[in-house]
Amino acid sequence: MQIEISDNTFTLHQLGAAYWHEQQMLLVADVHFGKIAHFRKYGSAIPKKAIVRNFERLDQLIKEFKPYKTCFLGDLFHSAFNSEWFYFEDWVKQHNCQFSLIVGNHDIISPSKFESLGFLLYEELIIDTFLLTHHPEERDRYFNFCGHIHPGVKLAGQARQTLKLPCFLKKSNQLIFPAFGEFTGNFIVQPEDDNQIFVITPEEVVLIE
């Protein structure tokens, strides 16, 4: 789905990322690399092949949009250094775009590890009238892109069935991204009257009025 914000064009993708056309930038939040390896280490029955799923999804986005830049809006890694770093290192080396990371609360791996791969690291990033952060921020004269919340919605059907789906939550001055990573979970949000909910389905992004 394509939307306009402050005279800029963004494509919201059903994989949970957005492409900023004017900046040729892919925006992704809360990948949480390393979470699957962390769970497996402590006995969770998650198949090892699940580790590559996040990389495959990112590859799909890069192939589709061919971004000049890719910016991760925090929590790129879930916790301390583990075996998934080596998958990540190999993946980065396969791509030519400029990678940057807005450091999130889970990003505790040494900055030098990212910088050795050519990453640019920021506490926050301002581009024109847009403020890119990990935690949601409100600041006069800026529109905020952020993650951290892992927004989702609960939809109810006529037969009393319910379905929980991730979403983009758009406020008057903010767009909160869904968590991109597998096994990250969702926080069910309660939108206010002026909010827009862009629900992610396997095939498309749908605006819920």
pTM summary value: 0.92
Query: CB under 8 Å to 167, separation ≥6 — which residues?
Result: 151, 152, 153, 178, 189, 197, 198, 199, 200, 208
pLDDT of residue 44: 53
Choice among 14-28, 119-133, 136-150, 185-199 with the minimum mean pLDDT: 185-199
Dump pLDDT digits (tens) for 36-71. 554 555 455 455 666 788 999 999 999 999 999 999
| The pair of three-digit structure tokens given for residue 71, joined into one six-digit string | 């910016």
pLDDT of residue 83: 79
% of the chain at pLDDT higher than 90: 70
CA dist., res. 142 & res. 5, Å (int): 11
Q: What is the mean pLDDT of the chain?
A: 90
| The pair of three-digit structure tokens given for residue 173, joined into one six-digit string | 């001055």
CA dist., res. 89 & res. 192, Å (int): 41
pLDDT of residue 176: 98
Query: CB under 8 Å to 79, separation ≥6 — which residues?
Result: 34, 35, 38, 106, 108
Domain 2-208 fold: Purple Acid Phosphatase; chain A, domain 2 (3.60.21)
pLDDT of residue 41: 53
